Amino acid sequence: MLGLIFTTLVEMVEEKFSPEMADEIITEANFPHGGAYTAVGYYDFDEIVTMVTLLSQKTNIPPEELIRAFGTYLFEGFTETHAHLIDGKQSLFSVLVSLDNDIHQQVLKLYNEASLPSFRVLDQTENVLRLEYTSERHLEPLAVGLIEGAARFFGHDNLGIQQEKVSDNTTIFIVTI
């Protein structure tokens, strides 16, 4: 998994909880590299699972809620560090519609080893978008958080997100604005 995800998670823990909490989690995780992440490095997905699990145990916040909050935080960070990825996008739906064919293609140019989920638009009206999410990592809460972060960025205050599990690796998001 891309190091940028790890460095941003550590940053969020430091900001939302404390630097001491971030150090505690990294120390207790006892990773071979000592938790010295770089944004351009690649790390085992299990490490992020370990970090979120430890944070959940220490805060009594369910892992899914932490991952969702991280998704929102991650989108906010992207608007600052990778603003070019949403240049020209005028709404939440314009971002979501362009995920696979535009945004993910740009991400792969920057981070060619990134393993990204698939997003496919099933149908769209003015206020409703049905989006198929496929991933072996089962990070639906992260996707929801990213969608919520994007909705907030574009000023969509009345966001609704429903999920329909289609198969083990596929979920349909019904996003309403």
For the segment 24-40, what is each residue's pLDDT rounded down to a tens digit?
Answer: 999 999 998 888 998 88
pLDDT category at 110 given cuts 50, 70, 90 is low
Q: Tell me the average pLDDT across 98-124.
A: 73
pLDDT of residue 109: 67
Percent of the chain with pLDDT over 70: 89
pLDDT of residue 169: 93
pLDDT of residue 84: 66
Over residues 163-176, the pLDDT tens digits come to 999 999 999 999 99
Over residues 65-93, the pLDDT tens digits come to 999 999 999 999 888 876 666 777 788 89
pLDDT of residue 10: 96
Note the pTM of the prediction, 2 decimals.
0.87
pLDDT of residue 161: 97
pLDDT of residue 88: 75
Select the CATH number that applies to the domain covering 91-176 from these four: 3.30.70.2190, 3.90.1520.10, 3.90.550.10, 3.10.20.440: 3.90.1520.10
Over residues 39-49, the pLDDT tens digits come to 888 898 999 99
Average pLDDT, the chain: 89
DSSP states along the chain: -BHHHHHHHHHHHHHHT-HHHHHHHHHHHT-TTTT---TT-B--HHHHHHHHHHHHHHHT--HHHHHHHHHHHHHHHHHHHSGGGTTT--SHHHHHHTIIIIIHHHHHHH-TT----EEEEEEE-SSEEEEEEE-TT--HHHHHHHHHHHHHHTT--S-EEEEEEEETTEEEEEEE-
pLDDT of residue 105: 62
Residue 103 scores a pLDDT above 70: no
Q: Tell me the average pLDDT across 99-116.
A: 64
